[in-house]
Each structure stands twice: as structure tokens, then as C-alpha cells.
Amino acid sequence: MARITLQNVRHSYLPHPEGDDDYALKEIDHSWEDGGAYALLGPSGCGKSTLLNIVSGLLTPSEGRIRFDDKEVTELPPDKRNIAQVFQFPVIYDTMTVYDNLAFPLRNRGRDEEIVKERVSAIAEMLEVTPMLNTRAANLSPDNKQKISMGRGLVRNDVNVVMFDEPLTVIDPHLKWKLRLKLKELHHRVNATMIYVTHDQTEALTFADQVVVMDLGVIVQIGTPVELFERPAHTFVGHFIGSPGMNILPCEIRDGGAFFHGQNVALEGPLTKAGNKTEIGVRPEYVVLAPTGLEGIVRRAVDIGRHIVIEVMVGDTRISVVSDGDLPEQGETVHLQFRQDQTRLYADGWLASKARS
Ligand code: ADP
Ligand code: MG
């Protein structure tokens, strides 16, 4: 196991990149701590697989360096990096049994058959595939094939990092939930650094201690699930995480205060920077219907079981409210208040207010 450091990494798939837009990864300066459980979260096309393949060595970055502990590995091929990678679709040998598939990465490294047996049994037990050990892989369901593929990634206990690139894509929804928890448990047991790539916030937030959020080839925020929810560093994170996402309201800054629809909105604390475009960010969970406050009209209200979600229009701006109260009528006039300590300012997308101490 090792600490993995990416230093000023940039990557373009073009032979002669020019502007920033030509780079799939714009500038990555980041360390993955030894033994951590990380998720790499972002929409399709934001550069997650590119970043992962640079760590694994499938791809050499156009610029920058990669180190495992103090050792430079930038030019090393994948088989010299001592890593395991699990892909979106199962990579297994159909003609071999499940046992032989799981044993392969160990035998490939010349491990004793005794150790092979011990490790394969342990992994099979964890993944609940022990009864299938003598089955030929070709006869497995797609779910089970992917489980074995994951087992192959986890069977060695001497790897620097185990990487998963959207591994649950082919898995049935009801099994997804189970496998996700299983992986988390496995992380505790095998104690390896794990990097889990996904575009699904639920997957990222349940698996990881630290979530790395990417957009357009850039890391926009690294934090615990709670930090990402409570204090998004960028409006992208506010919007991408949470359901519904954070309300982002265009505002005007006057006399040090933020004005939305002509009304002063109390922020969590002082502004930390200025910008051309300023917006107020407040999560639907922290907006309440009140007797007074910002006036709006209910466009839609949906009961989603544990609570209700109300969409209120204030002029052209839609504000979502998560509430435990009664379902209001469509077209009804309501008043909104924002919880002050959860009302933030964003300048050109980035967090620009500071909590009052
Ligand atoms: P993600 O895994 O987040 O969906 P990728 O890392 O696969 O994103 O892709 C990032 C960007 O790089 C996308 O714009 C994608 O079209 C481009 N890209 C990915 N792989 C290649 C490739 N082999 N050749 C050219 N462009 C690529
Ligand atoms: Mg990908």
C-alpha cells in the first residue's frame, strides 16, 4: 500500500493541445492517502476514467508526475505498479472455474497454492460466492460475473491501490445496494487504498470517507459526504449533490449585503471575495414556509414519502423546499424564509461567504 501523489497532472488526447478546452484533465494536484476509501464523483465525460487510467498506468499523462510513496511511476506500465483495477464490465476467463479465476492474480505472482487457497476462500466467503467456486465462469449470471471480477481485484493483499471504474453498472438494482455495503466492509477488512469511480452520488456517498468531485476535467471539491452537503465549495457541487440540489439564486451585492428580487437576504456571514456573477446558495432542506418572507407561488408539490418537495416560483426563479408540513395547493401564494447559517454566497461559482465565528 502506498500514498499516491499526482503532481501538476494534465492530460490531452490531442497530439497538439492548445487552449484549456483541449485538455480532458486540466490540472490535478492531489494525494490519495494510504488506506483511504475514496470516491471519484462527477458527470459522464468529466475525466474520471482518464484520471484513474493515469494512476493505473494505462495512460501516460501529457504533463505532470505520479508517485507511489517516494517512488516515481509516471512512465511505468500497469503491471509494474502493483495495482488492481476493476472495470465497468466483467473481465474474467469464461473457460475457467470461479476458483481458478479468483486464483489467477495470485498464481500469476507465483504465490504458494496454500496461500492461494486461503485467500480465494476468504474472498469467496466475503462475496458470498463459495457455492459457485467449482462452476465454470461461462455459466454465471452477469451479476455474478461482475462479483468475480471484483473478487479478482480484491484477492491480492499486497497491492498499492484497488481501483473500481463504475463497477456496479451491470449489476441489478437490488443487488447494487448490497454490494456497495459489502465493498465498504471489505475496505475495512483488507485495509487497502480504494478509489471508486462513479457518476452516482448515492454510490459515492455510501462508499467513501472522502469524495473527490470532478467537473470538466477539474477537481472542484474534496470532502466528507457531510462537508459536501453542508458547505459546497462550488455551485456545481451544491447542485450535483443532494436531491433536489441546492437552490442557486442570482443576486446583486449592495452595501455588503445580498439582494434577491429586491429583498435583502441574510447570509451566514461576511463575504470573502467579489465576482462578476454572484449567487445565493441555500439547500431545499433549509428553506421554510413562513407567515412572512420572500413571496412566491407554488408551482408543484410532491409527497415523496418521508417528506414533501415544493417548487415555488419567485419571479422566474424556481426555489425547491423540502418540508414535513402539509401539502400546499398549486397556485397558492406562500412566503419563504432561509435558515441564515445555511445561506451562502457564491461568486463566479465559488463559495464567497464565511461562517460567523
Ligand atoms: P468519464 O470517465 O468521467 O466519463 P472520461 O475520462 O472517459 O470521462 O473522458 C473525459 C473526456 O475525454 C471526454 O470528453 C471524452 O470524450 C474524452 N476521451 C476519453 N477517452 C478518450 C480517447 N481515448 N480519445 C479521445 N478522447 C477521449
Ligand atoms: Mg468513465
pLDDT digits (tens, 9 = 90+) for 142-166: 889 999 999 999 999 888 899 999 9
| Ligand 1 atom 5, closest CA | 47
178 has pLDDT over 90: no
Q: What is the mean pLDDT of residues 219-245?
A: 95
* Sign for the pseudo-dihedral over CA of 202, 203, 209, 210: negative
Q: 30-64, pLDDT tens digit by residue?
A: 999 988 999 999 999 999 999 999 999 999 999 99
Q: What is the mean pLDDT of residues 246-259?
A: 94
Distance of alpha carbon 302 from alpha carbon 45, whole angstroms: 32
In the reported structure, the alpha carbon of residue 158 is separated from the centroid of ligand 2 by a whole-number distance in angstroms of 26
In the reported structure, the alpha carbon of residue 159 is separated from the centroid of ligand 1 by a whole-number distance in angstroms of 26
Q: Which ligand is nearest to the CA of 58?
A: 1
| Ligand 1 atom 14, closest CA | 45
| pLDDT at residue number 169 | 85
Burial of 194 (0-12, 13-18, 19+ CB in 10 A): buried
* DSSP bridge pairs for 216: none
In the reported structure, the alpha carbon of residue 114 is separated from the centroid of ligand 2 by a whole-number distance in angstroms of 37
Query: Ligand 2 is a single-atom ion; what residues have CB below 5 A from it?
Result: 49
Q: 321-353, pLDDT tens digit by residue?
A: 999 988 999 999 999 999 999 999 999 999 999
- For a mutational test of ligand 1's pocket, the pick from 50, 165, 195, i.e. the residue with the most ligand atoms closer than 8 A to its C-beta, is 50
Distance of alpha carbon 353 from alpha carbon 176, whole angstroms: 38
| pLDDT at residue number 272 | 94
172 has pLDDT over 90: no
Q: Which residue has the cell 445555511?
A: 342
| pLDDT at residue number 51 | 96
| Ligand 1 atom 20, closest CA | 50
C-alpha cell at 135: 462452476
**Model confidence, pTM:** 0.90
Comparing CA positions, the residue from 81, 1, 75 lying closest to residue 33 is 1
212: three-class secondary structure by DSSP: strand
Minimum-distance ligand 1 atom for the alpha carbon of 46? 3
1 has pLDDT over 70: no
Distance of alpha carbon 148 from alpha carbon 140, whole angstroms: 10
Distance of alpha carbon 95 from alpha carbon 98, whole angstroms: 10
| pLDDT at residue number 247 | 98
pLDDT above 70 coverage of the chain, percent: 100
